[in-house]
A and B are shown apart, each in its own frame.
Chain A
Amino acid sequence: MKSLKRDNQNPWQGLSRRRFLGVSAGSIAAGVAVSRLAGFRSLAIAAKETADEVSGYLHEIPTVCEMCVWRCGLKAKVRDGVVVKLEGNPDHPNSRGKLCPKGNAGIMALYDPDRLKSPMMRVGERGSGRFRKASWDEALDYIASAMEKIKASYGPQAMVMSSTHNLAQLQFENLMQAYGTPNYGTQRSLCFNAMVMGFTMTYGTSDVVGDYANTRYIIYNGRNLLDGIANSETQDLIAAIHSGAKVVVLDPRFTKTAAKASAWLPVRPGGDLAFFLAVNNVIIREELYDKEFIDKNTVGFEELVRETAPYTPEWAEKKSDIPAAQIYKVARDFAAAAPRAFAHPNWRTSNTLNSFQIERSIAILNALVGNWNQPGGLHPAGGGDGGGIELGSIPQPPYPRVASLRLDGVPLKYPLVPLKLGVFQEMRDAILWGKPYQAKGWLIFRQNPLMSLSDRARTLEAFKKLDLIAVIDILPNDTAYYADVILPESTYLERYDPLSVAGNKVFLRQPVIPPMYDTKSALEIFKLLGERLGLHEFFNYKDEEAYLNAQLKPLNITLEEMKKTGFYEVTSGPEEKPGHPSEVALQTASGKIEIASETLSQVGYDAVPKWKEIAGPGDGKFYLLTGKVAQMTQSSTQNNQWLSKHVPENLLWIHPSAAGVRGIQDGDLVYVESKIGRIAIKAKVTEGIRPDCVWTIFGYGHRSKGLRTTYAKGALSSEIHESLTDPVSGSQALSQTMVSVYKVPA
């Protein structure tokens, strides 16, 4: 870019007047010499061929959505360079031609006026919010030199890197491992550690899916597929309901899924463990289990029989508030429907200190009735993220060996938590307390720990311990506000990402328009940063297209072809492996389904699930619960104008009996106060919630004024959520913060 000329001359001078050919439509530029436009920064004389661009022609470009993590295939309709409509790709197994509200509103993620538009460097004190525009070179050089300095002075482990589920995550991990730090923070412990570990300790895999097409009975424990939309699975559930499947929903709140279910069981938070122990108790006592299946495929049944004996429905009624008769009915109906029945593994299972054992008891329930790998039951999905399709990779050297401890206590404090899950909240605490060593830098890729981690004030304190905070994102979110350097990523409609695999198809995320601003793809950002860190060999690709070409190499398709179709179907892929689990050894210690787990008992945990009492809210207090709404994804979509229009703020659900004695009416502003803080939020008085619980949507209450649509709307649960952790899975216990609620004095 150029600035003002120093001389007094007209900088646009040089027009040759003789060359003027007269004015007719389209030929005005012909009269103006190109040299006179030399000083123009934005406009230029067009080459002849671009004249045809203004055609009104509707291009249809296939790509992959990123409004949540489900990765729906979509088709972007682009007219004259503007994205005018997004539609589900009928060929994509995750969307089947349909997009959710968020997917439809992706256009406003692209055209949000608040987007990050260029790299920025902080110029004031950290947290002053004073930034200046920077070039990519300057911003990347700054981050790289700070990271080099940290590595040289404190070792690579002093650098924390964190990110949340996305297609470029593998390359982010590549950068992290090449740099040499073991300190990786993800959302997993805030979300699904308990589910993943509960099912892995039982079946050797957590990658399981319900056979909705053939099922007759589904139990969900808190899973709310009609708000926490997982597009294709949500469609499957609706189809199953239509074809007459029974659906039982345990949830302290009357969710949209509960509204469509056959039965809503408003369980006491934490009492779900008692409920499932009692269901198992009935199935054992009444011999409703699949004896042959258990003999053949499981270990530890006898121990379960012994330990589950005390957990009768009559006992469980007192712990869960679900009537004993209801528990008997669910147990008997579920067993009768088996094996065409499944108790869903759920997803966000970060609820109580016992969440791991709750998930174990659900996993065991499925095994008892023998619905594993049977029509209508639970199936191992197989292949995980790779889906069984081998993509090509780019040769690179092995990563440096990591010798240091991890900050999050894995595996010393949490021996069974897989490294890739980690315990994010512990990592934050380790940064704050400087133990076992002091972290010095934090690179945050498309994640918002200031909102997502419980106890926001503690996260802010931890930030003060760091010499470097660098953020890569598309929006100026709360975390970016505290950064030293901000790198703007292109949105998913403007960039390539690594390939996405779904079933036997490979999908391409590709730019449907060029980047609107000075932004880059994650693939390019990591490469540029890696090269500055001397890690060239780990980023052996010229650009995104070269990376994708390498991934596509083993497949029978070129990138150019894929740009048109958006996907490639592998027809001669690995054979599906149907049949009984006895034919396939499971990835557990015993090779069988582990009803009792020796691995668990070896490290001092209960081999079969046992009841553990959890203190309730006590007099006049409430369990604080949080959840989702169909129009929002965590804390990342509130600034989307189309979505915000529908759910501009979050409200606090409170039961009329609890509201009445406090003089709270619908719409009143109330304080919600926990041990660690207080938020103000509007009340929604409704019978759709237990009287001892209050509930709100997570992700509102943004403090960044850079987000003009959502700034200061609603309130953030993380400001009052205490950091409590399930000792086995490292999962956050998000339903165990007790709060009092009272009216904000007028």
Chain B
Amino acid sequence: MSDLDARIAIYEILSSAFSRPGRDLAMEILYGRLARRINGILKECCESSAGCCLPTDLLDQLRSLSPPAPEERERLEFVVDLDEEYTRLFINAFPTLRVPPYESYYREKRMMGRAAMECLFLYRSDGLTVRDEGELPDHIVSQLEYLGFLCLAESAAQAGSPDAVPVLRRKQREFYEKHIMTWVPDFCFRVQSHSKIHFYRVMARLMKNFTAIENRNLNPGKLDPFQEVMHDEIAQA
């Protein structure tokens, strides 16, 4: 698996993790398939951006995503628990919704603010559209999918049109600078602080570290490679 394929895979895993969970995701977690998949990706590309620099205890956490040998009843409960937790964290909550998954909320305290419009224009100018049943343009899943899409395009460009690669890299860098880094660290921190479910805490931590690494790799020489990860260690403590 190439570095780029690994990045594509991790964007996909993260956008799945922050989409509404269904029975399939619950089973992926419970039976350890998700953990194995993540570890597989990280192992295969330990030379690459995605695998290196993740804190070792996060790697341990990822390996232990699934609880040991769940009973049938526990399995059914987990599906509901996961759904409840997703609703509580990201959709509507009594009490307070702690982690709205929209950039506009973090920057403007409203929905469909400037950030959402900027995202929408970016998607459209790159030939994408937001599905009718999809999330808003500044939802975490939309943004992760857009990055995944840019990586897919980069992968295609490597084979057919190498001139385009720097353009695509610049697009990714700018998207990180203008959008991801303005709110995703806070978003992840909130999930880590407020989730009652291990899965979301671990995925948030993975996302915070992964996006920090991505941001660093897209900005070679500009950032201290370990700065963001150190921040994560402090937050964990």
The answer for the CA separation of A669 and B114 in the assembled complex, in Å, is 39
CB pair A43–B22 under 8 Å, yes or no, is no
Nearest A residue to B29, CB-CB: A4
- B-contacting 9-mer, from A230-238, A345-353, A423-431, A700-708: A700-708
CA distance A22 to B156 in the complex (A): 9
**Contact A113:B110 (CB < 8 A) given known A1-B22, A43-B129:** yes
The residues in B between 47 and 91 inclusive whose CB is less than 8 angstroms from any CB of A are 80, 83-84, 86-88, 91
Query: Is A25 engaged at the interface, CB distance under 8 Å to the other chain?
Result: yes
- Of B161-169, B183-191, B226-234, the stretch lying at the interface with chain A is B161-169
The smallest beta-carbon distance between A452 and chain B, in angstroms, is 19
Is A28's CB under 8 angstroms from B142's CB?
no
B95 within 8 A of A: yes
> Quick one: which of A102-143 are within 8 Å of B by CB?
108, 110-118, 120, 123, 129-133
> Counting CB contacts under 8 A, is A10 at the interface?
yes
On chain B, the residues within 8 Å of A113 by CB distance are: 97, 100, 102, 105, 109-111
A3 with B100, Cβ < 8 A, contacts A28-B168, A43-B145 known: no
Q: Chain A contact residues (Cβ within 8 angstroms of B): what range? A: 35 or more
Beta-carbon contacts under 8 Å, B8-38 to A: 8-9, 12-13, 15-16, 19-25, 28, 33-34, 36-37
Among the stretches A11-19, A379-387, A534-542, A615-623, the one at the interface with B is A11-19
Nearest-CB residue, chain A, relative to B19: A41
Give per-residue flags for A13-38: 1 if the beta carbon is below 8 A from chain B beta carbons, else 0: 00101111111011111111000110
Shortest beta-carbon distance, B50 to chain A, in Å? 13
Check if A42 is an interface residue, CB within 8 A of chain B.
yes
The distance in angstroms between the C-alpha atoms of A418 and B127, with both chains bound, is 60
- Please name all residues of chain A whose beta carbon is closer than 8 Å to the beta carbon of B93 when the two chains form the complex: 129, 131, 476, 705-706
User: Bound complex: CA of A31 vs CA of B88, how far in Å?
Assistant: 39
A39 to B153, CA, bound (A): 16
Q: Which residue of B lies closest to A27 (CB)?
A: B127
- Identify the stretch in B115-123, B174-182, B211-219 within 8 Å (CB) of chain A at 4 or more residues: B115-123
Docked-complex contact B134 and A42, CB < 8 angstroms: yes
Q: Is A602 interfacial (CB 8 A cutoff)?
A: no
If A41-B131, A42-B139, A42-B145 touch, does A3 touch B95 (CB 8 Å cutoff)?
A: no
Determine if A4 and B25 form an interchain contact, defined as CB atoms under 8 angstroms apart: yes
Docked-complex contact A29 and B128, CB < 8 angstroms: yes
Number of A-B contacts (CB under 8 A): 235
Rounded to whole angstroms, the CA-CA distance of A120 and B91 in the bound complex is: 10
CA distance A106 to B227 in the complex (A): 43
| Beta-carbon contact of B88 and A130 below 8 Å | yes
Q: Is A82 an interface residue (CB 8 A)?
A: yes
- Interface contact B125-A117, CB-CB below 8 Å: no
Q: Please name all residues of chain A whose beta carbon is closer than 8 Å to the beta carbon of B148 when the two chains form the complex.
A: 12, 40
> Using Cβ atoms and an 8 Å threshold, which residues of chain B touch A43?
123, 128-131, 134, 142, 145-146, 149
Chain A residue with Cβ nearest B94: A129
The answer to whether A32 and B149 touch across the interface, beta carbons within 8 angstroms, is: yes
Total residues of chain B contacting the partner, CB 8 A:
80
Task: Please determine whether B129 and A129 come into contact, CB atoms closer than 8 angstroms.
Answer: no
Choice from A12, A20, A28 contacting B126 with Cβ under 8 Å: A28
> Which of B37, B94, B156 makes the CB contact (< 8 A) with A481?
B94
- Given known pairs A45-B128, A45-B129, A46-B128, the reply for A132 and B160 (CB within 8 Å) is no
**How many angstroms between the C-alpha atoms of A694 and B21 in the bound complex?**
52
- Does A575 touch B at the CB level, under 8 Å? no
CB nearest to A707 among chain B residues: B96
Decide if B159 is an interface residue (CB 8 Å cutoff). yes
Interface SS of chain B = helix
**Are B145 and A51 in touch, CB under 8 angstroms?**
no
The answer to whether B141 has its CB under 8 Å from any CB of chain A is yes
Cβ of A572 within 8 Å of any chain B Cβ, yes or no, is no
Q: Please, which residues of chain A bring their CB within 8 A of the CB of B12?
A: 10-12, 39
In contact, B127 and A41 (Cβ under 8 angstroms):
no
Partner of B97, one of A41, A114, A480, A481: A114
- Given A20-B161, A28-B126, A43-B142, CB of A133 within 8 Å of CB of B96: no
Do the beta carbons of B161 and A31 come within 8 Å of each other? yes
Q: Does B5 contact A (CB under 8 A)?
A: yes
In the bound complex, do residue A47 and residue B130 qualify as a contact, i.e. CB atoms below 8 Å apart?
no
* B127 close to A12 (CB less than 8 A): no
Give chain B residues whose Cβ lies under 8 Å from the Cβ of A18.
Answer: 159-160
Residues in chain A near residue B161, CB distance under 8 A = 20-23, 31
| A50: interface (CB < 8 Å) | yes
The smallest C-beta distance from A582 to any residue of chain B, in angstroms, reads: 59
Chain A neighbourhood of B25, CB < 8 A: 3-4
**Minimal Cβ-Cβ distance residue in A for B142:** A42
Contact B121 A641 (CB under 8 A): no
B126 adjacent to A29 (CB under 8 Å): yes
Known A42-B142, A43-B145, A516-B112; judge A54-B124 contact (CB<8 A): yes
Report if A53 contacts B (CB, 8 A).
Answer: yes
Min C-beta distance of A512 to chain B, whole Å: 13
Is A6's CB within 8 Å of the partner chain B?
yes
Kindly state whether residue B136 has any CB partner on chain A within 8 Å.
Answer: yes
Contact among A4, A21, A133 for B24, CB-based, below 8 A:
A4
Q: Is the CB of B156 within 8 A of A32?
A: yes
Write out the residue numbers on chain B whose beta carbons fall within 8 Å of the beta carbon of A39.
12, 16
A44 close to B (CB within 8 Å) = yes
- Min CB distance A123 to B, Å, is 5
Contact B37 A8, beta carbon cutoff 8 Å: yes
Picked from B16, B113, B129, B134, the residue with its CB within 8 Å of the CB of A47 is: B129
The residue in chain A whose Cβ has the minimal distance to the Cβ of B155 is A15
Q: Which of A1, A46, A514 is the one whose CB lies under 8 Å from B132?
A: A514
Task: Name the contact of B153 in the complex, choosing from A3, A28, A514 (C-beta under 8 A).
Answer: A28
Cα distance A19–B155 in the bound complex, in angstroms: 12
Q: Of B87, B125, B130, B156, which one neighbours A42 at CB under 8 angstroms?
A: B130
Closest to B151 in A: A12
Contact check, A22 vs B84: say whether CB atoms are below 8 A apart.
no
The answer, yes or no, to whether A254 is at the interface (CB within 8 Å) is no
Whether B124 and A3, one on each chain, are in contact in the complex, defined by CB atoms closer than 8 angstroms, is: no
Closest to A51 in B: B124
A133: chain B residues at CB < 8 Å are: 20, 83, 86-87, 91
Contact A15–B152 (Cβ < 8 Å): yes
Query: Is A687 in contact with chain B by the CB < 8 A criterion?
Result: no
- The docked-state distance in angstroms from the alpha carbon of A2 to that of B21 is 9
Query: Once the chains are docked, how many angstroms separate the CA of A6 from the CA of B102?
Result: 28
In angstroms, Cα B34 to Cα A317, docked, is 82
Cα distance A6–B105 in the bound complex, in angstroms: 33
Answer yes or no: A301 CB below 8 A from chain B CBs: no
In the A-B complex, the 10 residue pairs with the closest CB atoms: A29-B127, A129-B94, A705-B95, A23-B164, A42-B134, A46-B129, A3-B24, A20-B160, A17-B159, A3-B25
22 A-B pairs with CB atoms under 8 Å apart are: A2-B22, A4-B28, A4-B37, A18-B160, A22-B157, A23-B164, A29-B127, A31-B156, A32-B153, A40-B149, A41-B131, A44-B131, A46-B124, A46-B128, A50-B124, A51-B127, A82-B116, A82-B117, A112-B110, A120-B91, A132-B87, A476-B92
Given contacts A4-B24, A116-B92, A711-B96, 11 further A-B contacts (CB under 8 A): A4-B16, A25-B125, A29-B149, A41-B145, A44-B129, A45-B127, A113-B97, A113-B105, A113-B111, A516-B112, A708-B96
